Chains A and B, each alone.
Chain A
Amino acid sequence: MEKVAILTRGLTKYYGRNRGVEDLDLRVERGEVFGFLGPNGAGKTTTIRLLLDLIRPTRGKAEVLGMDARVRGVEIRKRLGYLPGDLALYDNLTGEELLRYLAGLRGGADWGYVRYLAERLQCDLTLRIKSLSRGNKQKIGIVQAFMHRPELLIMDEPTNGLDPLMQHEFHRLVRETSEAGATFFISSHNLPEVERMCDRVGIIREGRLVAVDEVEALKRKALRRLEIHFASPVPPGDFAAIPGVKDLRVEDRTLTCSLTGSVDALIKAAARFEVLNVVSPEVGLEEIFMHYYREGSGGEGGGADA
């Protein structure tokens, strides 16, 4: 059995004169959960649709499960589960009818497993799809991708529309399925989600892969924002010297800063005062990438090995 689940070499796609992705060299090993992180318009959907042979590269090559995506698409798709980014289902069918139809196209699926998945995601298969909310449609899309127990799951922003509880259930489902041997390629623009779910992350920006890294390493390097509310005013001087702390601002009783690496020193410094609240506002992806870019910390970790 081939060791590499996804391999692209110089994969490039232009839509006319619009850039889709450029010179993408990507390598996803079997058995790993690979996060594909990037802001809007970065090229995540383009990459995924190239892997599925839904669109054709301007140049470069993509191999999925050791087979050329352009040539052996049918064999690849036999072993693949796919969740489209702009999910559209047959609205006139019920969830069950749709899943039976799709399973039929694959020569059947284990219906017990389908029910198990639907139950886990709390998804009612008896309702007409057009009557479902966005999140509930998404759940059917997820069940559809998992139901035939594929070796490789390619999912484009799978948690789109799911509430936080369901997002966590989905993360667990991914971890469990991965432990059972499946490989995942999941696009997202949510760093915390990728950190929770993935082993490795590829960061794409403006059509180019800027970094590939282990999630653990990313966590160490990633930019966090922290906001600490104190009971009384604090002296800024106590915090300025802490390693990793940047953009420090202390206004009256509130401290805000950006931070890379461990929060330990900062928390310990803060603990000397009476702390009312600690908030970590989500950092915009673009900012994370800019940061990552500046640090020049990408590169190793199997990304650029073509």
Chain B
Amino acid sequence: MSFAWWAVGIAALCLFLVAYYPTVSKTPALTQFMEEAPEWVKAFVGESAEDYTSPAGFLNGELFFMMAPMLFIIFTVSRGSAAVAGEEGKGTLDLLLANPIPRWRVVLEKAAAMAVSSICLGAVLWSALAAGAAAFGMDIGLGNLAAACLSCLLLGLFFGALALALGSLTGRRGQAVGIAAAFAVATFFLYSLSEVVRGLKPWSRLSPFYYYLAAEPLKRGLNGIHTLVLLASALALTALSAYLFERRDILV
């Protein structure tokens, strides 16, 4: 049910942004403004500062740098933390685990459900952008668009799996959401600041956002290694969740 609202919201946001694009592209002064902006401002608008008026630059700056990952992370973290810790908090886990299902399977099936709904949300993101681009004459490759959407989705799944693992470890949803969100914010700043703060550069690879954005999927398509890093770590966290959940007491 709430998935429908998410889908509507994301589709509306995409269409609104793309509809706004023609106005931006006819304002070259914006590009100039961005070029003259201080480094730290650029860091917060992302890679695309220099060519803000190109389709890819516009979408990167307005959507893929911050808005889309933030929405996806909120979505996946809320699902990932609800899966085990949420049910545990409500007390329904006793009822569920009284069935002849091993705990690890409960975790994996819930993780799969989270992945499927996230993939659907990714598909909504892509279709809305593709439809908007066609309607408002925005020249952007559908393949690259898909690469960006997929990367964003995988970033979301990473944090969703993190929230799932934290919930599986502690059984407390508030904690799982809090820690996962704090980690997301911290690693976002680590990555975006590493663009301007020299000393941070070597550390940027510790940030999941690096594997999401550094290879510029919207401009250059999918980077195999970066994609694989996100996917593998999401899977590893999911497996860890199952392991952790098997080993502990269910809270009342």
Q: Which residues of A contact B (CB under 8 A)?
A: 45, 49, 52, 54-56, 73-75, 77-78, 80, 82, 84, 86-90, 102, 105-106, 141, 144
Minimal beta-carbon separation of B90 from chain A (angstroms): 5
- Given A45-B252, A55-B250, A86-B252, are A105 and B94 neighbors across the interface (CB < 8 Å)? no
A52 close to B101 (CB less than 8 A): no
A52 close to B91 (CB less than 8 A): no
In B100-131, the 8 Å CB interface with A consists of: 100-102
A77 close to B95 (CB less than 8 A): no
Q: Which residues of B contact A (CB under 8 A)?
A: 90-92, 94-102, 248-250, 252
Q: How far, in angstroms, from A47 to B250 measured CA to CA in the complex?
A: 14
Chain B residues with CB under 8 Å of A87's CB are 91, 95
B97 close to A106 (CB less than 8 A): no
Minimal beta-carbon separation of A71 from chain B (angstroms): 12
Main secondary structure of the interface of B (DSSP, over half): loop
B98 close to A82 (CB less than 8 A): yes
- Given A55-B250, A56-B249, are A88 and B101 neighbors across the interface (CB < 8 Å)? no
Closest to A82 in B: B98
Question: Which residue from A54, A73, A75 sits with its C-beta under 8 Å from B249?
Answer: A54
Chain A residues with CB under 8 Å of B91's CB are 84, 86-88
Q: How far, in angstroms, from A106 to B94 measured CA to CA in the complex?
A: 15
- Given A88-B90, A88-B92, are A52 and B100 neighbors across the interface (CB < 8 Å)? no
Q: What total count of A-B pairs have CB within 8 Å?
A: 56
B95 close to A86 (CB less than 8 A): no
Q: How far, in angstroms, from A78 to B99 measured CA to CA in the complex?
A: 7
Chain B residues with CB under 8 Å of A80's CB are 98
Q: How far, in angstroms, from A141 to B98 measured CA to CA in the complex?
A: 12
Closest to A156 in B: B94
**Could you write out 20 A-B pairs with CB less than 8 Å apart?**
A45-B252, A49-B250, A52-B94, A54-B97, A73-B102, A74-B101, A75-B100, A77-B98, A77-B99, A77-B100, A84-B91, A84-B95, A86-B94, A87-B91, A87-B95, A88-B91, A88-B94, A105-B99, A105-B101, A141-B95
Minimal beta-carbon separation of B88 from chain A (angstroms): 10
B92 close to A90 (CB less than 8 A): yes
B97 close to A52 (CB less than 8 A): yes
Minimal beta-carbon separation of B172 from chain A (angstroms): 16
Chain A residues with CB under 8 Å of B250's CB are 49, 54-55
Closest to B106 in A: A105
A52 close to B98 (CB less than 8 A): yes
Chain B residues with CB under 8 Å of A78's CB are 100
Q: A54-B97, A75-B100, A82-B94 are in contact. List 20 more A-B contacts (CB 8 A).
A: A49-B94, A49-B250, A52-B98, A54-B94, A54-B250, A55-B249, A56-B249, A73-B102, A78-B100, A80-B98, A84-B91, A84-B94, A84-B98, A86-B91, A87-B91, A88-B95, A89-B92, A105-B96, A105-B100, A141-B95
Closest 5 CB pairs of A and B: A88-B91, A82-B98, A55-B249, A78-B100, A84-B94
B100 close to A106 (CB less than 8 A): yes
Q: How far, in angstroms, from A105 to B91 measured CA to CA in the complex?
A: 18
Q: How far, in angstroms, from A89 to B92 measured CA to CA in the complex?
A: 6
Closest to B102 in A: A74
Q: How far, in angstroms, from A105 to B101 measured CA to CA in the complex?
A: 8
Minimal beta-carbon separation of B91 from chain A (angstroms): 3
Q: How far, in angstroms, from A80 to B94 measured CA to CA in the complex?
A: 13
B99 close to A106 (CB less than 8 A): yes
Chain A residues with CB under 8 Å of B95's CB are 82, 84, 87-89, 102, 141, 144
Closest to B101 in A: A105
Chain A residues with CB under 8 Å of B92's CB are 88-90
Q: How far, in angstroms, from A106 to B101 measured CA to CA in the complex?
A: 9
Q: How far, in angstroms, from A183 to B248 measured CA to CA in the complex?
A: 28
Chain B residues with CB under 8 Å of A106's CB are 99-100
Closest to B105 in A: A74
Most A-side CB within 10 Å, residue of B98, B99, B248, B249: B98
Closest to A77 in B: B100
Minimal beta-carbon separation of B105 from chain A (angstroms): 9
Chain A residues with CB under 8 Å of B94's CB are 49, 52, 54, 82, 84, 86, 88
